[in-house]
Every structure is written in C-alpha cells, then in structure tokens.
Amino acid sequence: MRIRESIRISWRAITGHKLRSTLTTIGIVIGIGSIIAFMVLGGAFEEDVLGGFDTEDQTLVLVQTQGEVDGGFGFQTFSDPIYTQNDVEAIERIDGVEFVDPDGTIPASQVRRGSETTVSFTVRIAKPASFSKNVSGSFVAGEAFADEGEAVIDTELAESLGGNVSVGEEIRVTFTDGTRRSFTVSGIYAAENQAPGTGTSVYVPADPYYNVTVDTHRGTEAIAYSSLTVWVDSIEDLSAVQSAADEYFHSGESDAEHLVDDDKQIAVQTFDALLAQVGEIFDQVTIFIAGIAGIALLVGAIGIANIMIVSVTERTREIGIMKAVGARQRDIVQLFLVEALILGIIGAIGGVMLGIGTGYLLVGYAGFPMIYPIDWIVIAVFVGIGVGIVSGLYPAWRAARVDPIEALRRE
C-alpha cells in the first residue's frame, strides 16, 4: 500500500476520535515541552551572561569565595570582605600580573541628579584601567575617572536618573554612614556581559571611599575586598599566574585564607574555568530535567501504545474487512505504525510549541534575551517520531495478526 494512502486512512482514524487522540499525545507534549522550555531558558541565560563574546581571550584570573548551595546544585559566590590590601600587593608582585582590580561595594542609600533620585543602585569600586578591558563593556560617552571627585555611571543608572545624562554633570551620593558626596560624571559606561543583578551602578575609585576593614591573623587592621580580578599581561602568562595565585592563597601566607569561613573556599580561576564550572551545574540540571522529560515521554509512549491497542481491538472488524479485500500483514502494520507516528509527530509539535511558549514567558520574566534552540527542536521532533514508532510496534503487530474469520464474526 502507498504511504500516502496509509496517512489518509490513519488521519481519518485519528480525527475520528479527537478527544482520545489529544489525550494520547499529552505525555509526549509535556515531555518534549519541558525539555524545550528548559533549553530556551538555559540558552537565554547563557546568551545573557556571555553575550557571544570570546571567553578564551580574557586575560584575567578571578579570585572569589565560593561555597556549596544548601540542598541545591553547584556552588554559590560570597562577597565577604577577606582579600586584604596585603594580598592585593602580594598578587601584584607575581610575574606576568598587569594589575589587580579589587571588587567591593560601598553601602549607599541614595543617588540624586538634579531633581531625579533613585535608591536602587550600587556603589562599586573600580580602577580606571579596568574599564579599558573589554570584559565589562565600553564607554558610550566620556572616559574613566581621573581623580576622587569623579565617577563613572552605567547606562542603566543613567536611565534611572531620567536619561540623557551628559559627561560633566553632577550627581550626589548619600552613603549609608550618613556622608554625602558630589561627583562629576566622567563617563557613561555600557556594561555588557554582566551577571544578572550587577547593573545600575556608580563606579568610584576605592581610595578614599572604600574603608571596609578586617582584623588580620597578624594582628593588624587592613582594608579588605570581596573579590579580586587579576589582569594578566598576556594570554601566555595566564595559567602560570593562575597557579601562582592559587598557590599563594593556599600557602598559609595570605590573609584571606585565615579569614575565610570554614565551609567556604577561595577559588582562583580563569574566566574559562569559571564558565566551565557554571556549565557543569547547567549540565547537572539538564540531566535532571532530561530525566523528568524522559519519564514523561515514557508515559507518553505507554499512552500511545495503550490507545493503539484499544484502537486495534475496536477496529478488529475493520481490520478483518481490510484483510478480506486484499490487505497484507505489512499493509496493516504500516497503517497502525503510521497512525502511531502521526500521534508522535503531533505530540512533538505540540511539545515544541508548548516549550517555546513557556520558555518565552520565563525568559521574559527573567529579563533574558529570547533564543530558539533549533538543534533541540529538531531532536525533539525526532524523539517524538521515535516514541511514536516504538509505541506503535506492538499494537501494529497485534493488528497484523488479526484472524479475518474471527474478526468478521464480531458485531
């Protein structure tokens, strides 16, 4: 029998029982939908974090405090101030280090520009040189601050302050300790590729505003930062610097290792390694979701098989008639396989639509850019086809074995 005829006949059987066919495909729709939704979300997250820039060329080493996430996947980064000025200077003495950019925030309650104010913002410390590194973005106007009376604001903060901020304008920051300070905007920076939640910032020089101090194990009081970005002269020096810095923080000499909480570690990583670590978590979650989706698909397959067996039983008489007028076993197998296949494809298409729709909503909610995981969509459709075929095999075989004489005696 021609495939086109089987499709026509099977399609009629499917549309003849719309409700039943719909229910049958739900397992597949959910299984494939959850995979696609997750892939959309994951892809969008990655796109948001990386934005397509080349991580391999980043000549930096990150020094961060990490710890386990309670009952969750992967790790978490902490911002306890433990990296002292002493540590910064020690790292800067390592061969191949260009400079160290310590990260820290200064508690502040309000920033105002003329009559515009906002309270949701962060004051971060930075070194002028770090702005020239492409990892964090580029200036849309002006340049880095040159002295302590100047500050850089990012484009998000500029928006919060009414937009159209120009270089040379004054902003007033009220710090949490009660002091107020005016800054001249020296530049407006478009921060790209940031992790979510780090936007809307004012960047100021650490000196003299940053004065978080800790008591070191040596009995001194020292300024301490929450993480360090170590800029390296060239890509060739990267791994040597990384291992030297790693060694330093585990040698007993650094202040940080004495200050770090017992359940946390100091991680010294290249950007690549950090992303690989994030990627690993991602993979774990993917396996978890794939497991759930797999169960849904299995349920879907059993659903299709079940419905098909019911349908074979119901249509025994029709199968008998078809055999009596010349259908071979393989024609009957073909008919039922095509029917299962169509159900599988419908389930896959429904799942892809559900997944993209759900992903779109989640991505919009999280503020990530929308992406379409084409490769996963293709895989999903093939999985749907596969599930259809596998679950149709047994019912089709049963249908093919129907004895026409017995079948025709049925009422």
Partner 1 sequence: MARTDRGGERTGTGVVAARNVSRTFFLGEPVHALRDVTLTLEEGSFTAVMGPSGSGKSTLMNLLGCLDTPDQGTIEIDGRSVGDLSGAERARLRGREIGFVFQTFNLMPRLTAAENVSLPMVFNDVVDADRRERARTLLERVGLGDRLDHAPNELSGGQRQRVAIARALANEPTLILADEPTGNLDSETGREIMDLFDELHAEGRTILMVTHERHIAERADRIVTLVDGQLERIEDVSDVVPSGPTVLDDRDAPTEPDGGEGA
- Number of chain positions touching partner 1 (CB under 8 A): 23
Nearest CA-CA partner of 266 in 62, 55, 92, 58: 62
Smallest gap, in angstroms, from Cβ of residue 330 to partner 1? 7
208 interacts with, out of partner 1, ligand ATP, none, CB within 5 to 8 A per kind: none
- Number of chain positions touching ligand ATP (CB under 6 A): 2
84, 216 Cβ separation under 8 angstroms: yes
Among 183, 409, 410, 411, binds ligand ATP (CB under 6 A): 409
Angle between helix 374-400 and helix 329-366 axes, rounded to 10 deg: 150
**CA distance linking residue 355 with residue 366, whole number of Å:** 16
**CA distance linking residue 200 with residue 259, whole number of Å:** 30
**CA distance linking residue 311 with residue 335, whole number of Å:** 12
111, 157 Cβ separation under 8 angstroms: yes
Q: What are 231's two structure tokens?
A: 């800029």
Binding flag, residue 5, partner 1 (CB under 8 A):
yes
53, 374 Cβ separation under 8 angstroms: no
Among 15, 211, 405, 410, binds ligand ATP (CB under 6 A): 405
Smallest gap, in angstroms, from Cβ of residue 409 to ligand ATP? 5
408 interacts with, out of ligand ATP, partner 1, none, CB within 5 to 8 A per kind: partner 1
Smallest gap, in angstroms, from Cβ of residue 380 to ligand ATP? 47
Residue closer to partner 1 by CB (options 140, 324) is 324
Among 228, 327, 371, 377, binds partner 1 (CB under 8 A): 327
Binding flag, residue 2, partner 1 (CB under 8 A):
yes
326 interacts with, out of partner 1, ligand ATP, none, CB within 5 to 8 A per kind: partner 1
Residue closer to partner 1 by CB (options 26, 408) is 408
Smallest gap, in angstroms, from Cβ of residue 349 to ligand ATP? 44
* Cβ atoms within 10 Å of 152's Cβ, excluding its own: 27
Binding flag, residue 322, partner 1 (CB under 8 A):
yes
**CA distance linking residue 101 with residue 211, whole number of Å:** 16
Among 321, 345, 362, 390, binds partner 1 (CB under 8 A): 321
Among 318, 358, 372, 394, binds partner 1 (CB under 8 A): 318
Residue closer to partner 1 by CB (options 29, 322) is 322
331 interacts with, out of partner 1, ligand ATP, none, CB within 5 to 8 A per kind: partner 1
Smallest gap, in angstroms, from Cβ of residue 410 to ligand ATP? 11
The residues of the shown chain that bind ligand ATP, judged by CB under 6 A, are: 405, 409
The residues of the shown chain that bind partner 1, judged by CB under 8 A, are: 1-2, 5, 9, 12, 16, 317-318, 320-331, 404-405, 408
